Structure 1
Amino acid sequence: GNLRGARLADHLAAEAVAAARDRLTGGAVGPGDDEIALTLADLPSRIDPTGAETAPADPSAELASCVGIEPVKREVVALVAEARAERMRREAGMPVAARPRHLVFTGNPGTGKTRVARALGRMYADLGTLSTGALVETDRADLVGEFPGETAANVRAAVERALGGVLLVRDVHVFATAEGARGREAVDVLLSAVRAHPDDLLVVLTGPEAELNGLLRSHSGLAATFPRVVRFPDLTDEELVEVFARRAAETGFALADGVLAKVGRLVRAAPRERGFGNARLVVDLLDRAVALQGRRVLADGVVDETESLDEILLADVPDSLGPTRDALPGDPVAAIQSLVGLEPVKEEVQALAAEARAEPMRRDAGMAGNAPARHMVFTGNPGTAKTTVARLIAAVYARLGLLSSGHLVEVTRADLVAEYVGQTSPRVRAAVERALGGVLFVDEAYTLAAGGGGDRQDFGPEAVAELLRLMEEHRADLVVIVAGYAEPMERFLSSNPGLRDRFPRVLRFPDYSDDELVAIFESMAGAAGFQLAGGVAEAVRRRIAAQPRGREFGNARFVRNLLDAAIARQAQRITGVAPGSGGGAEAVESTEVTLLRPEDLPDAPPEGGRTEKGPGHYL
């Protein structure tokens, strides 16, 4: 307690001195002078050791100004009333039993959890329940370390910074369930540190409702320390439009006729699924509108009397609430067609695109019918461009409006299946949430049904069951692609009655021919800036022909390794051309630096596995 009081006194003195220096002008007192006369006006109105900007004077007014979340506001008022009553009873000499005040805030992003935590901390500070009420925000990156002992030190340091105020821990379920021993250590150390400081600290855990409720049910220590759960509801369409209007006014922008009506249409058209961004979506929409407005007004470098830098017109508002698709490949279907080989796959993708284009045409014609399941199975050996095609299919569906973002999330069994009871489903949910709006690509998916071996209980089937449930829940904005060798994938589809129905389309990726692998080598070399001397293509063909073509053959990965080996040998050759000239690099012709010769190829075929540098375009 004395140490913390000394820190607060030091901080108070530093704040007062800084204010006095700002007040004194004219050079009479400079930053280096030894004596500064302090006045009462130099003392800060409240202590904030984090150095954050001063919040509005009345935290109750700040809470009331939050759009929507009326049940949350009532809950906070009740919490403050309880704290005030405890203080009055204590002042009256009544015994007051110590009760944990720590809270759990559940709800989707953008519902005001951080803002409410900040306001509550300041209210508690006004009552004397907390000494400063300052907010310290943390998440997995701040708490979970990579080395032994690092996690415990990180958690204790975060608690120490937050003493006197509020420690907000975002998405505790992520590392508590998906980080193994390190995540469990973070939770255990957090509980220990919180219990060591019962009087001058408020800890708030935030995250999705289902995940946090599941975590509390599975961890009795957490449930006892965090007995109160405050649920933050999604904002209504009207409230989201109000958030847009308020934020525009706060940032000094006027809204032309029709802007709010368009925002309302975009909000109503947005899918309301788990993870819905709420206020974040409309704030992002405003940021994009401001950027487009600036481009429009300053396109000719002149702002004339008909243009205004502080007015947003209807034309400035983007046509989609979610992320813009301008960053997607220009023509993903054409990109797939440009890949070497894979003719059967290209035909399937053309058919998929045609089906997707036909759906809105049929709806416009008044035809009834349900959208087909778009989840797929990719079978084939390594290095046959399964991941590349999955990424391009995501872009195709985004271009056609079937997915909101078109990104790809790659996972394996290690990302989905945990070691202990109750940890697998949260991992699967976390992976699906990252993939919403795009494609979840599950590589070597057959390992989910393969079993863990020995006497260990295997949670692979639990991962499959949870994945199937979430696929149905998010069918409007998620495509799942499972991939692996043909025969194991066939057994995988037979391991669960729901799998074959959920994955009706199977794309088979054939091995590349020798000619196709030579063409891929030439393409990869060209993309890396190299030219091939005469005889290189023939030498590559001989290396490929000498490589056994078993199930483990790496296809394009083998070629990538061959190219990497050739580049490494070429580096040795060109840097050893002129001995005695400082390594010889300066004495080499620039054309030789970019040229691969037959002697640069390794004498023996390289291994066909994955390279450390990561996959290339065909992997």
Structure 2
Amino acid sequence: MGLECTKCGKTNRDIAKYCKYCGNPFTAGENVKNGLAVIDDLVGLDNIKKEIQKMVTVIEGMKREGRLIPMNFNTVLVGYSGTAKTLIGKILCHIFYAYGLIQKEQPVTYKSNDLIGMSKGVFKQRIDDARGGVLFIDDAELLVKPEAKAGDVLNTLLAEIDRKPDDLIVIVTGLPFGLRDFLQKDENASFIGRFKNIFYIADYSPDQLTKIAEKELVKAGFIAEQPLLDKLVKRFRYLVKEEKKVDTESFPKNGHMAVQEAAKLIDSYYLRKASDKKILPEDIVGKIEERKPLEEIMKELDEFIGMKHIKDSVRDLYRQVKLRKARLEHGVGNEKPISFHSVLTGNPGTGKTSVCRIIGSIFEAIGVLDYGHIVEVDRSKMVGSYVGHTGPLVNRLCDQAMGGILFIDEAYELYQSKDDDFGHEAITTLIKRMEDDRGKYFVFAAGYQEEMERFVNSNPGLKSRVDMYFHFDDYSPGELADILKIMVKKEKYAIDDAAMEKVHIYMKELCAGKTRNFGNAREARKLFEKHIKSLQSKRIADMMDNEGFDKAELTKITAADIPDHPDPVSGQEAAPNQFEKTVDTVKQGLEQYKKDLQEIQKGLNDVSPENGEKK
């Protein structure tokens, strides 16, 4: 925004002692006012804006009374990339300087990677170089050990803050992965106590991203009218959902995403050789996300084969949520934020994931969830491979699921035994996030009925947070035949009555020999993809070379294309993720072996080599 000189009227940088054009001095009040204006102009960040304003008010009050202002303005800013952490940190530096709390205008800035390889002596010297000003450390999540303990750099920093606390302000920024776990751990209270401000910055919503993009366009001299902005919100809805599916920092997030889209819009403007400076809706390149009407979602639910009691349960859930949402909005009663963490039980292929997607869409349509997307995980994605790895993994997955549903398949695998420390940590972390972020996302845990009942009952904390139970029955032979018919139609095939009659016979025989791991709808898919298509291709392969071949044969499925009997192994599909289960079992065994070796090593270390006695 810049400081405007009251004497010559020209604009300077945001914080300055003198006008660079005429030499007129700026007051501390002018500098602070402009710094606050810069922060206020940022999109979102309401909580941080309020806290900074309160901080400024306190400093001004103490200065008026001539009080000595304590230097403990150490600050931690935690958020994903593109949430303006660095900008906020720099503005804080300007405010501290403008009020005379520090003597150095520019912070001494380091990336954590630069500090990790630095010797302790050199790092202490760098801290001394920053005294009288601000030490700014970015990417601080790298300074935390896997078990959420302070690394050597943080320990040295803490000691140096304590040694001379009155001539240094430390500002630390970092990603949530690891850093949040560190800050929330009671064992790290000594570190946390040295920081007056700890700010957690939320990701930007599609509406906020649209405002950021609009600011970028206006700053570049373009016009962004409402039709463009309406479509841009839909574009960001799509991008945010896609970003939540990608577990990587390389995908543009938050403000970076908005700036990138604004740049693409400007490219599109020039590519169509326009000259009126108006960015149009057609300049948006890429997919957009239209919200589905509730009627359309309910129609999709009704089109599912069978599941009458599930459909009734989903409709009942919709009515409950709608009522509770209305009570919350009208301040009736003592309603807590809406929470519908659920358990889905049933055999493979019974539609658990599909129904979960429908529920997510319903919650999105009625405004209970922001996105209604599904983040699908299992034990392999939630349990780490070393001590301290699991908590951050679970937290990141919960972050991805914000505004949607975290769908945990075979959730009972999280708890394998009393000695399964990693699994226990995953469950404990999950329960905490279910409570801390109540109403912001829902957890749906799925698996076999018997195992899921045992899993939920084994943990009272988890059981008390489950709001709904859905059980999915196996499909009947007739329902499996209907499912196959729908698959055939979707792929533009036509199946005749004789073929369908044979399909019904096949499904009856298949269901008669089914086992616990029966694949249900997966069996229908297997019949179509593996057998019917193969037999049809054999039947018409020779016909295709004949003159007068009727191309309609390419889409026909006849009785000759249906197997007479199921394979001996059909209906006995191996339990899903069997390979992953084996790997997990081996991992657990290796982890226990490592623990045993560590205990032996500890015992050896405690024995004096001279006389074999305990030290």
TM range (shorter): 0.5 to 0.7
SS of 1:402's equivalent in the other structure is coil
Q: How far apart, in 1, do the equivalents of 2:341 and 2:200 lie?
A: 31
Asked if 2 retains the 8 angstrom alpha-carbon contact of 1:425 and 1:463, the reply is yes
Paired residues, what number? 413
Q: Give 2:566's aligned residue.
A: 604
Question: Which whole-Å CA distance do the structure 2 matches of 1:285 and 1:398 have between them?
Answer: 26
- Write the deviation string for residues 58-98 of structure 1: whole angstroms up to 9, x where unpaired: 9999x9897479999xxxxxxxxxxxxxxxxxxxxxxxxxx
Residue 484 of structure 2 aligns with an amino acid whose one-letter code is: F
How far the C-alpha of 1:462 sits from its partner, in A, is 1.4
- The correspondence for 2:299, drawn from 326, 334, 337, is 334
**Quick check: 1:378–1:508 contact (8 Å CA) kept in 2?**
yes
Q: What is the alpha-carbon distance in structure 2 between the residues aligned to residue 378 and residue 384 of structure 1?
A: 10
> Which residue among 526, 545, 552 is the counterpart of 1:591?
552
**In the TM superposition, what whole-angstrom CA distance separates every residue of 1:590-616 from its partner, at most 9, and x where no partner exists?**
21111122222335336344899xxxx
2: CA distance, partners of 1:208 / 1:532 = 54
Could you tell me which of 505, 510, 515 is aligned with 2:473?
A: 510
User: Which residue of the partner structure matches residue 540 of structure 1?
Assistant: 503
Instruction: Give % identity.
Output: 27
Distance of 2:551 and 2:574 partners within structure 1? 31
Residue 343 in structure 1 maps to residue 308 in structure 2: yes
| Residue matched to 1:475 | 438
CA distance in 2, matches of 1:117, 1:364: 36
Q: In structure 1, what is the equivalent of residue 124 of structure 2?
A: none
Distance 1:329 1:564, change over 3 A: farther
Determine if contact 1:107/1:231 at 8 Å carries over to the other structure.
Answer: no
Contact 1:325 1:399 in 2 (8 A): no
Which of 520, 524, 528 pairs up with 1:559? Answer: 524
Q: Partner letter of residue 218 of structure 2?
A: A
Is 2:497 the partner of 1:525? no
SS of equivalent residue, structure 2 residue 488: helix
Secondary structure of 2:278's match?
A: coil
Greater alpha carbon shift after TM alignment, 561-570 vs 488-497: 561-570
Shift of residue 457 of structure 1? 4.3
* Deviation, structure 1 residue 553: 1.0
**Contact 1:517 1:559 survives alignment (8 Å):** yes
The whole-number CA distance in structure 1 between the counterparts of 2:306 and 2:144 is: 41
CA contact (8 A) 1:170 1:206 kept: yes
Deviations 1:450-497 (A, max 9, x none): 239xxx744212111111100111112201101111111110111111
Per the alignment, residue 192 of structure 1 pairs with none
Distance verdict in 2 for CA 1:525–1:170, change over 3 Å: farther
Q: Is 2:176 aligned against 1:208?
A: yes
| 1:271 corresponding residue in structure 2 | none
The equivalent residue for 2:464 is: 501
> In 2 relative to 1, CA 286–477 (structure 1 residues): closer, same or farther, beyond 3 Å?
farther
Q: Please give the TM-score of this superposition, normalised by the length of structure 1.
A: 0.54
Q: Could you tell me which amino acid in structure 1 is paired with residue 551 of structure 2?
A: S
Q: Which amino acid aligns with 1:444?
A: E
Distance 2:521 2:400 in 1: 28
Conserved? CA contact 1:569–1:601, under 8 Å: no
How far apart are 1:366 and its partner, in Å?
5.0
In structure 2, runs of 5+ residues without a counterpart are: 1-11, 17-33, 41-47, 53-75, 92-105, 114-136, 152-171, 186-190, 230-243, 245-250, 282-287, 577-615
Contact 1:107 1:234 in 2 (8 A): yes
Cα offset, 1:386, TM superposition: 0.3
Say if 2:146 and 2:387, in contact at 8 Å, map to a contact too.
no
CA deviation map 1:524-580 (0-9, x unaligned): 11112111133221222222222223221111111111111234414531563158x
What secondary structure sits across from 1:512 in the alignment?
Answer: coil
Could you say what secondary structure the match of 1:498 adopts? helix
Q: 1:215 to 1:399 in 2, by over 3 A?
A: same
Alignment of 1:65-464 (within 5 A): 67=39, 106-113=78-85, 206-208=174-176, 211=179, 214=182, 234=201, 246-253=215-222, 280=254, 284=258, 309=278, 326=291, 331-363=296-328, 367-371=332-336, 372-451=338-417, 457-464=420-427
SS of corresponding position for 1:441: strand
Given the superposition, is the C-alpha separation of residues 537 and 171 from structure 1 closer, same or farther in structure 2, using an over 3 Å criterion? farther
Q: Please report how far the alpha carbon of residue 107 of structure 1 lies from its aligned counterpart in structure 2 after TM superposition.
A: 2.7
Structure 2: distance between partners of 1:243 and 1:532: 53
- In structure 1, runs of 5+ residues without a counterpart are 1-56, 73-103, 120-126, 138-166, 178-186, 188-203, 218-222, 261-274, 296-302, 313-322, 613-619
Cα deviation per residue 1:190-222 (whole Å; 9 max; x = unaligned)?
xxxxxxxxxxxxxx99411753664999xxxxx
Distance of 1:400 and 1:236 partners within structure 2: 22
Aligned residue among 440, 453, 456 for 1:490: 453
How far, CA to CA, are the matches of 2:203 and 2:444 in structure 1?
33
1:255-310 deviation digits (Å, cap 9, x = unpaired) = 899x99xxxxxxxxxxxxxx9x999379849979x98xx99xxxxxxx9xxx9937
- What's the RMSD between the two structures over aligned residues? 5.7
Kept after mapping to 2: 8 A contact 1:67/1:243: no
CA–CA separation in structure 2 for the residues paired with 1:587 and 1:207? 67
